[in-house]
Amino acid sequence: MSEQEQSDQSNNALAISEELLEILRCPKAVQSEEYGSDPGRLRLVKNSWLVSDDSGYKYPIRDGIPVMLIEEGEKWKDVPEDELPVPPPAS
């Protein structure tokens, strides 16, 4: 496999496992009763961010580790998804 193929393959790899994505929840949404029975589900954006459609909070994934702090997600809440930096900057 060429270097380019290896690079392309690693770029297509998920930043976190699908299993982890399935169990992680937005801590802000989970604290609220307004989001229904399964609040805070997250979706992967730009392979570097976890976004909660319930709260609007956006959590960076740094070095393969989701930073699930409410304060961190709140900082990025008003940033449009297409403007989220990749890779996420250090806090």
Question: From CA 67, how far away is CA 61, in angstroms rounded?
Answer: 6
pLDDT of residue 65: 94
Q: If the chain, 91 residues long, is cut into consecutive pieces of 10 residues, what is the mean pLDDT of each piece? A: 39 80 95 82 97 97 95 97 96 75
Say what the pLDDT of residue 9 is. 38
CB 76 within 8 A of CB 84: yes
